[in-house]
Structure 1
Amino acid sequence: MKSLFFIIIVLGNFMFKRGYAQPHLYKQLQTQLILAEEGDTVHLPKGIFFLEKSLSLESKKNVTIRGAGMGKTVLNFKNQKSGAEGIKIANSRHIVMEGFTVKEAKGDAIKAINVVGVTFRNVETEWGGTHDNSYGAYGLYPVMCQQVLIEYCQARGACDAGIYVGQSHDIVIRYCEVEKNVTGINLENSTRVDVYNNLAMNNTCGILVMDVPTVVVPNGGQVRVFENQVVRNNLPNFAPAMAMVAGVPSGSGIVVVATSQVEIFANKIANNKTLGTGVFHYDLIGIETTYEKYNPYPGEVAIYNNVYSRSRLSPAFHRKLKDIPFKPNRIPHIVYDGVIDPAQKGQQVLCLRNNKTLDKFPLFANINAASGFKRIRYQAKKYDCSLPRLKKVWAGFE
């Protein structure tokens, strides 16, 4: 038995070093997921494992998928031959994923769709190497879900978003680190969201709150982004040309596009070379399309009690924003396009209060995009107001 055990260990180490697939492990794990019953925990063993197919869990209730810890249990999909994700969870209730790493998935790392009550805890996703749009689009990717909790997770290298939540509601994202993605955290067409105590660093855009017109759920809102550190998000944008996020300029801290009822407060927003916070109509960032049951205008955005600072770096406004005639010493921390919904004249689109700058750059500018960026206004007095505070979000099972 000792000799056989030794041979297995040596062979396993050889396969690990060569990056060979381990189909026996895939079959074992997928069988456990298929047979899992309510209340079961599927244990992922400690080690680095190379898988050629997606793992999937469907139509289950109260199931936990648990590894030995981030970096201790590693599922590597660099040789993946089938499946659009590393792991896919669908049509389930109360699913917990914790304590493992997913690397180099062919598509998205972990996708959850139509799940009520999904937790990602101490989960890591990563693509390495040179950044290009051959990387997977999303690291953690819950879509059309309810009661989403994402905490103590890490996501790196996605060509769209490290952490993405789309067309979902009742969402909490906290204590996470996102780095080297096009967007660190991307909230899209989602409602009732709290994003707090996260570190977004060295992405193209740290945090993006965006509604797009080409999905089933037309608009989101009631989003709070607070007490985050959003620093040095100056990575060149490597998203595919037709991706929604391809229009977001490198050097963006927190950006709001076409979403209403958003609070951005008590964040540290530092050394993002293009803008600290942006508030934009969809057409300035997104892909042109017709609008049906969709409002492309942002509204009721409150930005307060944030601290802004920036080193003297050259901004990277591009596409429709590239012609803004900012002087080098007049690039503001908060950029508002000034585009007003004609059907909502008189509505308070933007409120600014008690934000602090630690440098000599202006705090604010209305770039007056509708007039071709003529007559940029730096005075923020018109926007010194407050909006009704949004309620704390409960994912339902924190």
Structure 2
Amino acid sequence: MKKNSVFIKILKLFLLLSIGIFIGKYFFSGKNTDTVPLPSTMKYRNVGISNDTTHVVEETTFDGNIIEVKKGGSILQAVKSAQSGDLIRVYPGTYAETVYIDKDNISLQGVVINGEWPTLDGGKKLNDAFLYSGNNILIENFKIINYKGNGVMGQAGNNFIIRNNWIIDTGVYGIFPQYGQNGLVEHNVLSKIADAAIYVGMCDNVDVINNEVFNSVAGIEIENSRHCLVENNYAHNNTGGILAFVTPGLPIKTTFDVIIRNNFIVNNNHENFGAPGSTVAGIPPGAGILIMAADDVVVENNIITGNDNAGITIVDLATGDPKANDPNSEPNPDRVVLLDNIMFANGNNPTGELKALMLTQLSTKGPDIFAMGGGTGSSILDKNKYRTFGLDDYGFPPISDTKDLISMKLNKPVAPRSVSEEELGRLTYYGICAGCHAFGTRLIGPPTEIIQAIHNGNPQGIVDYINNPKNLRPDYPEMPPQDYLPDEAKMAVAEYILSMKK
């Protein structure tokens, strides 16, 4: 027994050392990540940057002009003057503004010189740093701090790339693409986010790779989205590390075809500081991976350790979000596939219902893998490798690995969404409103039924609020103005909201 105990301790030490070496080399190059971001400045083909500290990560082509913004200038004014295909290059300085991008094919690139970043600082007064609704948008190499709502928020823009940004304390979400297709979120560092550091909402074909997320409520969240790859991320010291689930009340009702692989999911035991009543406020500290009502999720080759509640939690809506009431959302996690993962030192301090449940099993520890509620067709490669609860009906997986799938992105860009006059209200709601307002569920803003009650029979009242929002509820963040929307879109979405039924 003593030899086995010593061997296990040596193995754990080796694994922790391996994690440290990988993280140190891959993410930080020996620097303290609490104060130093990923050291890189991208360059474009045919665009020279004559600075010895420039680190080239990837070359990307563009076919327009270069617009330079330097300290004292305005990024928003540069966007307003830009044409399709232009590159806006932003030099170090502090920019206190919200940047709206409602054009297609615009690239925004920060230039990092001798450790000095272009910094968007909301001063805890502004809601969003970048708010894009255009297609083929690139946002890279920015430091974003002190916003109340979001660092980068997408509104129905396809073919987006958000990479190599340093995002701290930006309110509800750090990076939030919503209702977009064919996107990449990579090499970002995010912390101190009150909901999800990276939140992929109602999207399709998105890769979330090589990011670090920490000191947030949720590290990475795939919500009501399909065909997503979450790989090579370091999620640590959040309340929950990586989540894939369905939030009821949203117009898109499903989450499926998600691969979570090759991630480090470590010590996600942060106290939950999510907004009371929000979905993430119910995440127990100590959740490594949480799968709720999502289908066809593959969990493979992750190192999952030090998560005090459970390493992997798989639940239905009735268990995970008992207040949910959406008859159109199928509530069960089906066909979850658990392949080979390294898991140890999870469940050391379970809380709430899980703690009580484990006591009925004469144990004070939580499991590596916990499943409860409905669902069919799920499987696990080797259940005997882990401490498990609730996996009695899990069979043998239909696959052994996912190595042949390199990316969930499509091989070529997708076209912008075409919007007919009849669909204008519905698609504007999907792309602009639904990420913050849902039926019966608190997201960023008040639930949709409250908006309907306030503006019953008065679509113009909603239009006026869209143009000039006022923060009348101190328990919700201020809504950013959406006055860049065409007048017909504002009225169409107002009428659509008032006509909606759960």
Tell me the TM-score range normalised by the shorter chain.
Answer: 0.7 to 0.9
Aligned residue type for 1:190: S
Residue number in structure 2 paired with 1:286: 321
Matched, 1:112 2:126: no
Residue number in structure 1 paired with 2:357: 324
Give the Cα separation in 2 of the matches to 1:311 and 1:392. Answer: 29
The within-5 A match list for 1:12-161 is 28-47=74-93, 49-51=94-96, 53-58=97-102, 60-69=103-112, 72-82=116-126, 84-90=127-133, 92-127=134-169, 136-161=171-196
Give the Cα separation in 2 of the matches to 1:313 and 1:28. Answer: 50
Aligned residue type for 1:72: E
Indicate conservation of the 8 Å contact 1:108/1:138, yes or no. Answer: yes
Residue number in structure 2 paired with 1:19: none
SS at match of 1:93: coil
Indicate conservation of the 8 Å contact 2:117/2:143, yes or no. Answer: yes
Q: What count of residue pairs does the alignment treat as equivalent? A: 337
The alpha-carbon deviation at position 79 of structure 1 amounts to 2.3
Matched, 1:396 2:410: yes
Aligned residue type for 1:113: Q
SS at match of 1:383: coil
Matched, 1:340 2:374: yes
SS at match of 1:38: coil
Aligned residue type for 2:190: A
Give the Cα separation in 1 of the matches to 2:258 and 2:347. Answer: 31
Give the Cα separation in 1 of the matches to 2:274 and 2:248. Answer: 19
Give the Cα separation in 2 of the matches to 1:288 and 1:300. Answer: 24
Indicate conservation of the 8 Å contact 2:90/2:109, yes or no. Answer: yes
SS at match of 2:350: coil
Give the Cα separation in 2 of the matches to 1:99 and 1:397. Answer: 25
Give the Cα separation in 1 of the matches to 2:72 and 2:265. Answer: 38
The alpha-carbon deviation at position 397 of structure 1 amounts to 6.3
Indicate conservation of the 8 Å contact 2:349/2:365, yes or no. Answer: no
Aligned residue type for 1:42: I
Structure 2 residue aligned with 1:248, among 283, 294, 318?
Answer: 283
Quote the sequence identity (%): 23
Aligned residue type for 1:77: D
Give the Cα separation in 2 of the matches to 1:178 and 1:229. Answer: 11
Matched, 1:363 2:370: no
Residue number in structure 2 paired with 1:236: 271
Indicate conservation of the 8 Å contact 1:180/1:202, yes or no. Answer: yes
Note the alpha carbon deviations across 1:224-275, whole angstroms, 9 max, x for none. Answer: 0001010010101110111111111101101100000100011000111110
Residue number in structure 2 paired with 1:351: 379
The within-5 A match list for 1:217-232 is 217-232=252-267
The alpha-carbon deviation at position 78 of structure 1 amounts to 4.2
- Structure number with the higher helix fraction is 2
The alpha-carbon deviation at position 312 of structure 1 amounts to 7.6
The alpha-carbon deviation at position 323 of structure 1 amounts to 3.4
Unaligned segments of structure 1, at least 5 residues? 1-23, 128-134, 342-346, 367-379
Matched, 1:385 2:396: yes
Q: What TM-score comes out, normalization by structure 2 length?
A: 0.63
- Structure number with the higher strand fraction is 1
SS at match of 2:281: helix
Aligned residue type for 2:75: L
Note the alpha carbon deviations across 1:173-203, whole angstroms, 9 max, x for none. Answer: 1111001010100000000001111100111
The alpha-carbon deviation at position 164 of structure 1 amounts to 0.5
Cα RMSD after superposing both structures: 2.3
Give the Cα separation in 2 of the matches to 1:126 and 1:355. Answer: 39
The alpha-carbon deviation at position 331 of structure 1 amounts to 2.4
Give the Cα separation in 1 of the matches to 2:162 and 2:110. Answer: 12
Identify if the C-alpha distance between structure 1 residues 67 and 281 changes in structure 2 by more than 3 Å, giving closer, same or farther: same
SS at match of 1:94: coil
Give the Cα separation in 1 of the matches to 2:239 and 2:225. Answer: 21
Give the Cα separation in 1 of the matches to 2:322 and 2:389. Answer: 24
Indicate conservation of the 8 Å contact 2:309/2:346, yes or no. Answer: no
The alpha-carbon deviation at position 383 of structure 1 amounts to 2.1
Give the Cα separation in 2 of the matches to 1:164 and 1:365. Answer: 29
Unaligned segments of structure 2, at least 5 residues? 1-69, 413-502
Indicate conservation of the 8 Å contact 2:348/2:365, yes or no. Answer: no
Aligned residue type for 1:260: D
Give the Cα separation in 2 of the matches to 1:240 and 1:234. Answer: 17
Identify if the C-alpha distance between structure 1 residues 26 and 253 changes in structure 2 by more than 3 Å, giving closer, same or farther: farther
Give the Cα separation in 2 of the matches to 1:95 and 1:116. Answer: 8
The alpha-carbon deviation at position 213 of structure 1 amounts to 1.1
Give the Cα separation in 2 of the matches to 1:384 and 1:287. Answer: 27
The alpha-carbon deviation at position 158 of structure 1 amounts to 0.5
Aligned residue type for 1:175: N
